[in-house]
Structure 1
Amino acid sequence: MDLDDRILDYARRPEGRSGYRPPNEEQREDLARGVGHLIDGDAGKAEKVLGDAGFRVTRLTDTDSGRRYDEVAARSSDGRAARWGRLYLNADAAVRWSVQVPHPVTDRNTEALGSRLLESTPGGALVLAGAHRTAGRGDTADVAHRTDSVFHAVVTELQKRNVPGVQLHGFAESSKRPYDAILSTGAMQTAPGEATLLADLMENSGLRVCRGWSDQCPLEGVTNVQGREAQRRQSTFLHVELAPRARGGGNDAPEARAALIGLLESWNSRA
């Protein structure tokens, strides 16, 4: 099984672009509780709770790396739950970091970058939204700005365990945004050492970086609800906006990816 293909097939499926309706509070709580059991290593409890909520846990082995992953996904490939998103956890190591992709397809190639970061470094979790950000009424599918989503419930469950996270976004180039990357800590006004590390790694490879904690930057993510939750819980949260050339097959994509891998490796080493 090719993990990257499986993730991208889900993220880019056409049905994810319409028909989104958020889960109710009980469903969110059940899913968060089940994910918590899985993170804590109790697969039996996790499968029971998640199964009652209409989700399943599938153990996957990536053919290229040989690494094993647990996939949390809806039991049915259609219906409401299929659009709520997925979680991938490295099954061979404790969870030490998360990569979050709230706007797959909309923020083009963030889904591919998230998948490759998960595959590149052990000890990670990939939290992936299941619908295009315009798939619901109003902003109901924009999970970076809604607390009534599976995405937010799962990220919060990770933050409860003090698992640091990096959230990937994309922006369009313009004269007002002459950067390859805009880095910030969301609602927090100060930067942990990890934020400075990521900025340094990017700049050392030639990328133009705006540091939201010391510069006047656009797109700092101050209204991002996962960032606000991280601030409340004093958990590490990095909001990363990337220009098109720093994503996918862009000229600066390898440098951006290598810098992010350096960040994830630093989180692994501190455990």
Structure 2
Amino acid sequence: MRAPRSRAFTIAIGLLVMAGIAVGLTALLRTPGDARDTAGRPSPKSAAQVDLARVVADYTSRFGPDHGYRRPGRADREDIAAAIGLLLDGRREQARQRLAERDFTVRTVIDTPTGRRYAEVADRTDTTVTPRGWGRVYLDLDHRPSWSVQVPHPVFDRGTEQLGVRVLRGSPGGVLVIAGAHRKAGIGNSADVAHRRDTVFHTICAELARRGLPGIQLHGFAAASAPGYDAVASTGAGTQGRPEGSTLATALRSHGFRVCPAWARSCPLEGRTNMQGRAADADDVPFLHIEFSPTVRSGGPPAERAVAAIDDITRGWVRTPAKS
């Protein structure tokens, strides 16, 4: 009678070992962002704890003129933008697969100063010797995506990338889109994403506009380009954003800034030829093109006051409270 009992015990132990191996292999095969909470969302325990401002500063610190940009093909642009759409729809795994086909990654990060979770969409070539410069996206995972803040000329328009992070933090439901290269990095003006349609940056912003998300785009001007002003506010090629533009101009003035409103008078740097503004206009979506002086973009209290004024607008664009 001992032999059968011993054989059954051995079989039971073998099954337990095999189950343990299977669980271990599953854990090894998962990427860091694959863990889920009971609602099916990425688990906070699996997310990287980061300071988003530092992450973006590190990312853009590698940007420079004359290198770091390769023009994307149409399929590249369309697939990456479609994957962003999947993320907006909450279809994370499908988005991950589609992004991987274009050598992009998606992971969950927690911005430690705010405690907010974001999906970070990044180009795998960012840290290589020859980056493609196709950009990066941060999408609020704790709230329904409702609006975007766009940074087309990071580093070239110094400080706009950090203003973008501040604006993203200011209101829930934001999507931050950052161009992936210096404005002068490509051949000709190929990396000047604000004035071209054949870029990943433009295709993503156009997808957001197609889905009805209003956008605010941040630029910077040299002091000599708009003397007497701290900011130039415009609605780009359209007029849908005029109510928000008027509110923003009033808010900026209340914070002590001198503002030129392009819808009311002739201003320099009006952004009429901005391609993302034209895409928003085609979809009847509000779009604001804001140029800031070097003083505002230098950080500190001026930047804080400017972002506080922008928050008055983005809060009005929030569609729903936090996700359940």
- Normalised TM-score (structure 1): 0.94
Aligned length: 271
Task: Please give the secondary structure, in 1, of the residue aligned with 2:71.
Answer: coil
- Does 2:163 align with 1:88? no
Alpha-carbon deviation of 1:19? 3.5
Residue 191 of structure 2 is matched in structure 1 by: 141
- Deviation string, structure 1 residues 190-233 (Cα, Å, up to 9, x no partner): 65311111011011122111111111111000111111111111
Alpha-carbon deviation of 1:48? 1.1
Residue 161 of structure 1 is matched in structure 2 by: 211
Identity %: 47
Alpha-carbon deviation of 1:144? 0.2
Matched AA of 1:20: Y
C-alpha distance in 1, partners of 2:236/2:230? 18
C-alpha distance in 2, partners of 1:205/1:15? 33
Task: Please give the secondary structure, in 2, of the residue aligned with 1:252.
Answer: helix
| Unmatched segments (≥5 aa) in structure 1 | none
Matched AA of 2:190: T
Residue 84 of structure 2 is matched in structure 1 by: 35
Alpha-carbon deviation of 1:75? 2.5
Alpha-carbon deviation of 1:7? 1.3
| Unmatched segments (≥5 aa) in structure 2 | 1-49
C-alpha distance in 2, partners of 1:212/1:14? 31
Residue 127 of structure 1 is matched in structure 2 by: 177
C-alpha distance in 2, partners of 1:214/1:174? 22
Match of 2:315 among 265, 268, 271: 265
Residue 101 of structure 1 is matched in structure 2 by: 151
- Does 2:240 align with 1:193? no
Residue 166 of structure 2 is matched in structure 1 by: 116
Alpha-carbon deviation of 1:17? 5.6
Deviates more, 1:250-259 or 1:53-62: 250-259
Label 1:269 to 1:44 Cα distance change in 2 as closer, same or farther (>3 A): closer
- Contact 1:187/1:228 (8 A) holds in 2: yes
- Contact 1:73/1:87 (8 A) holds in 2: yes
Task: Please give the secondary structure, in 1, of the residue aligned with 2:223.
Answer: coil
Residue 71 of structure 1 is matched in structure 2 by: 120
- Contact 1:19/1:136 (8 A) holds in 2: yes
Alpha-carbon deviation of 1:254? 2.4
Matched AA of 2:298: G
Residue 252 of structure 2 is matched in structure 1 by: 202
Matched AA of 2:245: A
C-alpha distance in 1, partners of 2:298/2:65? 20
Matches within 5 A, 1:176-187: 176-187=226-237
Label 1:3 to 1:251 Cα distance change in 2 as closer, same or farther (>3 A): closer
Residue 109 of structure 2 is matched in structure 1 by: 60
Q: Which has the larger radius of gyration?
A: 2
Residue 19 of structure 1 is matched in structure 2 by: 68
Matched AA of 1:129: A
C-alpha distance in 2, partners of 1:62/1:246? 24
Deviates more, 1:25-34 or 1:9-18: 9-18
Matched AA of 1:56: T
C-alpha distance in 1, partners of 2:130/2:142? 31
CA RMSD, aligned part only?
1.9
Task: Please give the secondary structure, in 2, of the residue aligned with 1:136.
Answer: coil
Residue 5 of structure 1 is matched in structure 2 by: 54
